[in-house]
Structure 1
Amino acid sequence: MRWFLTVLGVIFGVAVFLFLDYALPSRQTVRITNTYNRLTEIGANAFFYASPDTGTVQNAQGQRDVRFIDTVRQNNKPYVYRNEDTGWIWPPYFKYDSSNLHAQATDLKSTAAAPQWVNVTSYGWRISWLSIYPNAISVRPVAGPDVRPFNWPAQLILALIGAFLFLIWRMWNQFRERTIDPAVRSADEAWDRLDARADAARDHIASEAQGRVRRWWNGIRGR
C-alpha cells in the first residue's frame, strides 16, 4: 500500500509541476524578426490554443487565422510565439489586446546588424513536432540581450499558492488535533477495554472448562 501511495504522490507532484510550468508567466529576452498571420490547422493540439469562446473563428477545415511573432534568442536560436486573446476562460490572463500587441511587436522588429532587444512575457510551451507555441502576453524593450527582468508575476502567484497551501496545512493539523486524534485515542481505548474484556472472558471460560474436565475426571476415578 505504501508503494502505491508513493507512486500516486509522485504522479500528483509531476502533474502539479507541469500545470504550473505551463500556466505561469515566463519572461525571455529576444529579438523580434517577423510578425505575421497564418492559417493554422487546429486538431488534437486544440487544448494549447485559445478557446472558441474568445471570439476565434475556424473554417470548415478546422483552420484558424493565428497571429505569430518570430524571434531569435541570445544564443541565435529561433523561438516562435503565437498571439491570441485568452478572454475570461483559461488561463485567466484576461488578454483582449492581441491586435495592439501585434502592432507593438511589429514596430519592434530589428535585424542582427541593428538589434532591438525586447522582453516577452508569455505562458505555455514550445513543442515543434506538435505545432504548440507559447502565447505572448506583453512585449517591452530592454537595454540589451543580458537584461533579465525579475519575473514578479510568477513569484507572486507561487507565493500566494504557498500561503494557501500553508493555510490548508494549518487547518488540517488543527482539525486533526481537535477531531481526528481524540477520536482515534477514544477508539484505541475502547478497543483496549474490549480486548481486555475478551481476554478476561476467555480466561474465565478456559478456567470453567478446566474445572469441569477435572471434576469429570475425578468422578470417573471415583474420587
Structure 2
Amino acid sequence: MRWFLTVLGVIFGIVVFLFLDYTLPSKQTVRITNTYNRLTDIGANAVFYASPDTGTVQNAQGQRDVRFIDTVRPNGKPYVYRNEDTGWIWPPYFKYDSSNLHAQATDLRSTAASPEWVSVTSYGWRIAWLSVYPNAISIKPVAGPEMRPFNWAAQIILVILGGLLFLLWRMWNQFRERTIDPAMRSADEAWDRLDARADAARDRARGRMRRWWDGLRGR
C-alpha cells in the first residue's frame, strides 16, 4: 500500500508540474522576423488551441485561420508563437486583443543586420511534431538580447500557490492529529481487545478439549 501511495504521489506531482509549466506565463527575449495568418489544421492537437467560440471560426475541413509570429532567439534558433484570443476560458488570461498584438508585432519586425529585441510573454509549449505553439500574450521592447525581464506574474502565482499548499498541509495535519490518529488508535485498541478475547476463548476451548480427551483416556 505504501508503494502504491508513493507512485500515486509521484504521478500527481508530475501532472501538477506539467499543468503549471503549460499554464503559467513565461518570458522570452527574441527578435521578430515575420507575422502572418495561416490556415491551420486543428485535429488531435485541438486542446492546445483556443476554443472555437473565442478563436477564429473553423471551416468544414477543420481548419482555422490562425495568426503566427515568427521570432529568432539570441542564440539564433527560431521560435514560433501563435496569437489567439483566450476569452474567459482556461487559462484565465482574458485576452481579446490578438489583432492589436499582431499589429504591434508587425511594427516591431527587424532584420539580423538591424535587430530590435523584444520580450514576449506567452504560455504553452512548442511541440513541432504536433504543430503546437505557445500563445503570445504581450510584447515589450527591450534594450538588447542580454535583457531578461523578471517574470513577476509567474513568481507571484507560485508564491500564492505555495502558501495555499502549506495551509492545506497544516489543515490536513491538524485534521489527522485530531480525528484520524485517535480513530486509528481506538481501532487498534479495539482490535487488540478482540484479539485477546479470541485468544482467551481459544485457550478455554483447548482446555475443555484436553479435559474431555483426558476423561476418555481415564486420566
Task: Identify the TM-score tier after normalising by the shorter chain.
Answer: over 0.9
Q: Please give the alpha-carbon distance, in whole angstroms, between the structure 1 residues aligned to 2:211 and 2:14.
A: 67
Q: Secondary structure at the match of 1:52?
A: coil
1:127-146 deviation line (CA, Å, top 9, x unaligned)? 11211111000000111100
| Deviation at residue 6 of structure 1 after TM alignment | 3.3
Q: Please give the alpha-carbon distance, in whole angstroms, between the structure 2 residues aligned to 1:97 and 1:51.
A: 15
Q: Quick one: which amino acid aligns to residue 95 of structure 1?
A: K
| Deviation at residue 211 of structure 1 after TM alignment | 2.2
Aligned to 1:117: 117
Q: Please give the alpha-carbon distance, in whole angstroms, between the structure 2 residues aligned to 1:102 and 1:40.
A: 17
Aligned to 2:163: 163
| Deviation at residue 84 of structure 1 after TM alignment | 0.4
Q: Please give the alpha-carbon distance, in whole angstroms, between the structure 2 residues aligned to 1:84 and 1:168.
A: 35
Q: Please give the alpha-carbon distance, in whole angstroms, between the structure 1 residues aligned to 2:113 and 2:82.
A: 25
Please, which runs of 5 or more residues in structure 2 have no aligned partner? none
1:184 has 2:184 as partner: yes
Q: Quick one: which amino acid aligns to residue 172 of structure 2?
A: W
Aligned to 2:86: 86
Q: Secondary structure at the match of 1:92?
A: coil
Q: Quick one: which amino acid aligns to residue 56 of structure 2?
A: T
Percentage identity across paired residues of the two chains? 80
1:51-98 deviation line (CA, Å, top 9, x unaligned)? 012152111221111111111100111111110000001211111111
Aligned to 1:129: 129
User: How does 1:62-101 map onto structure 2 within 5 Å?
Assistant: 62-101=62-101
| Deviation at residue 167 of structure 1 after TM alignment | 1.4
Q: Please give the alpha-carbon distance, in whole angstroms, between the structure 1 residues aligned to 2:3 and 2:183.
A: 27
Q: TM-score, normalised by structure 2?
A: 0.94
Aligned to 1:154: 154
| Deviation at residue 216 of structure 1 after TM alignment | 3.0
Q: Please give the alpha-carbon distance, in whole angstroms, between the structure 1 residues aligned to 2:160 and 2:120.
A: 23
Rg larger for: 1
Q: Please give the alpha-carbon distance, in whole angstroms, between the structure 1 residues aligned to 2:136 and 2:37.
A: 14
Q: Quick one: which amino acid aligns to residue 90 of structure 1?
A: W
| Deviation at residue 203 of structure 1 after TM alignment | 1.5
Q: Quick one: which amino acid aligns to residue 205 of structure 1?
A: A
Q: Please give the alpha-carbon distance, in whole angstroms, between the structure 2 residues aligned to 1:182 and 1:4.
A: 24
Q: Please give the alpha-carbon distance, in whole angstroms, between the structure 1 residues aligned to 2:55 and 2:42.
A: 15
Aligned to 1:60: 60
Q: Quick one: which amino acid aligns to residue 70 of structure 2?
A: D
Q: Quick one: which amino acid aligns to residue 30 of structure 1?
A: V
Q: Please give the alpha-carbon distance, in whole angstroms, between the structure 1 residues aligned to 2:95 and 2:113.
A: 33
| Deviation at residue 2 of structure 1 after TM alignment | 4.0
Moved more, 126-135 or 10-19: 10-19
Aligned to 1:175: 175
Aligned to 2:6: 6
Q: Please give the alpha-carbon distance, in whole angstroms, between the structure 1 residues aligned to 2:70 and 2:34.
A: 5
Please, which runs of 5 or more residues in structure 1 have no aligned partner? none
Q: Please give the alpha-carbon distance, in whole angstroms, between the structure 1 residues aligned to 2:141 and 2:210.
A: 97
Q: Secondary structure at the match of 2:136?
A: strand
Q: Please give the alpha-carbon distance, in whole angstroms, between the structure 2 residues aligned to 1:177 and 1:107.
A: 61
On the 8 A contact 2:82/2:134 being kept in 1, the answer is yes
Alignment: residue pair count: 219
Q: Quick one: which amino acid aligns to residue 157 of structure 1?
A: I
